Structure 1
């Protein structure tokens, strides 16, 4: 049995790309010193997220980066032997901008995901992705998603059906826009964030890493709460609202076998009982 040491980050990032890289380098070195082999950084950590989700604040958005450009190569070089997932604004070859996540290791890009589900006014700034897929990495088969993607069970289920052993969700998930709690730890949107993390891990019986932004940016106040969740939906490590790194060690293959031994949620599905519309989405 081989245990994998993994970590999810809660940290604050803004528009300053050099400042972002300084933070990313510090976090990678901190994780490396702790023996971490898989590290999840937040959505939009390279260049920051949006100032608002309703267009209330003028916002040119983050810098758009090519997935094969110098910034992503720089990230891959920093990752070294570690497998690192990070969010960025992707400059598509079609001339559109995408809210994306990239997975890198050893100087190489292993996978890229474009956010599919867009909340509120995000579609004014980004085009939407159109698929979910898993891919092989040195630490196992991974599937990525971004923030609001995890509110849709079909997203994680599609990744699990594609063989994902580990789901990595990177977020810039804010607190509630109305009736906001003074204490973010008691915020209802934080509660939803946490519930989605546990549910997506449990229903698909996969390991789950959830990274998120912290602090404030424009009108948004992020809930942090980076965590590692096991295939039974139990939280192994959690930063809470403050910035930090949730670190856990787990034999992923053994954890999946144990979780699926008696009740295998993927194995026991009854596709014949689902409506045609639902069956077509999973």
Structure 2
């Protein structure tokens, strides 16, 4: 099978309402499964924006992450759907918080886990990066070989290359990306700077790696700087479909993965990466 229906859930977490956010997310996943989706993807930090200034009990909020992960595993099995539940802020025994994403298959089994490496600047004060401690790892799923990245990782082509060289055909990127991230100076140059960044980067990564890129961003009020623009891109076609704004919603996109093989025949990206004399230092 090469054709899959992927549900991108552009979701707006309500501050300090973790359980309510969880129930709303589950309801949208139910809707996606009922519509025949094979995979449902949520945004980064979909249970809550864990930035410390928003809530002084940040660490306590992160302590119950396993309960919610287990709930999504049960839901995946119940609905016969694969789930990437955005990312979870996880408080661990050493009192560190990591930003982690999971791929759960339709039997409720965890196929892959990824801790965010390239932290957005405000995160660095309270979230631990995996940095060079572990490699990016592609893993087998019912939809083929998949890689997970999170938000600001999108800005690093090296992350994609490492996954592609392990055979990943689909890269899933949950995000909490806002137009206001461009800074006041950037917004003076172009109020839609981050939107242009996202549109260009998602499509470029799909073409330059002959892979499908599933980008799922957080929803929220546009006047508060939320970008939305969740989308799926593949080579040749570019963006298959996307949210034009930052409203909350569910969009199901049909993706024929056979186009990736056709693109590889044309561009031979993976073939060149596999050569022993590949000249940029990347190695399989």
Q: Which moved more, 1:72-81 or 1:147-156?
A: 72-81
Asked if 2 retains the 8 angstrom alpha-carbon contact of 1:49 and 1:172, the reply is no
Aligned 1:107-256 pairs, distance under 5 A: 107-130=108-131, 131-176=135-180, 177-178=183-184, 187-215=192-220, 221-232=225-236, 234-241=238-245, 242-252=247-257, 254-256=258-260
Offset at residue 181 of structure 1 (A): 6.0
**Distance (Å, rounded) in 1 between the aligned partners of 2:120 and 2:102:** 21
Corresponding residue SS for 1:203: helix
Offset at residue 84 of structure 1 (A): 0.8
Aligned 1:3-42 pairs, distance under 5 A: 3-14=3-14, 15-42=16-43
Corresponding residue SS for 1:267: helix
Offset at residue 222 of structure 1 (A): 2.1
Corresponding residue SS for 1:20: helix
**Distance (Å, rounded) in 2 between the aligned partners of 1:225 and 1:122:** 22
Q: Which moved more, 1:219-228 or 1:79-88?
A: 219-228
RMSD of aligned C-alpha atoms?
A: 2.7
Structure 2 residue ranges without an equivalent (≥5): none
Q: Which moved more, 1:93-102 or 1:146-155?
A: 93-102
Match of 1:84 in 2: 83
Offset at residue 251 of structure 1 (A): 2.5
Asked if 2 retains the 8 angstrom alpha-carbon contact of 1:202 and 1:233, the reply is no
Offset at residue 50 of structure 1 (A): 2.2
**Distance (Å, rounded) in 2 between the aligned partners of 1:169 and 1:47:** 17
Structure 1 residue ranges without an equivalent (≥5): none
Offset at residue 247 of structure 1 (A): 2.0
Corresponding residue SS for 1:141: strand
**Distance (Å, rounded) in 2 between the aligned partners of 1:165 and 1:273:** 20
Question: Which structure features the higher share of helix residues?
Answer: 2
Offset at residue 139 of structure 1 (A): 1.7
TM-score, L = length of structure 2? 0.85
Aligned length, in residue pairs: 270
Offset at residue 281 of structure 1 (A): 8.0
Which whole-Å deviations, capped at 9, do the CAs of 1:176-233 have from their partners, x for residues lacking one?
Answer: 3315769x9x61111111211111111100011000101159x963211111111336
Asked if 1 retains the 8 angstrom alpha-carbon contact of 2:22 and 2:68, the reply is no
Corresponding residue SS for 1:279: coil
Distance 1:205 1:66, change over 3 A: farther
Offset at residue 58 of structure 1 (A): 6.4
**Distance (Å, rounded) in 1 between the aligned partners of 2:213 and 2:163:** 12
**Distance (Å, rounded) in 2 between the aligned partners of 1:60 and 1:239:** 33
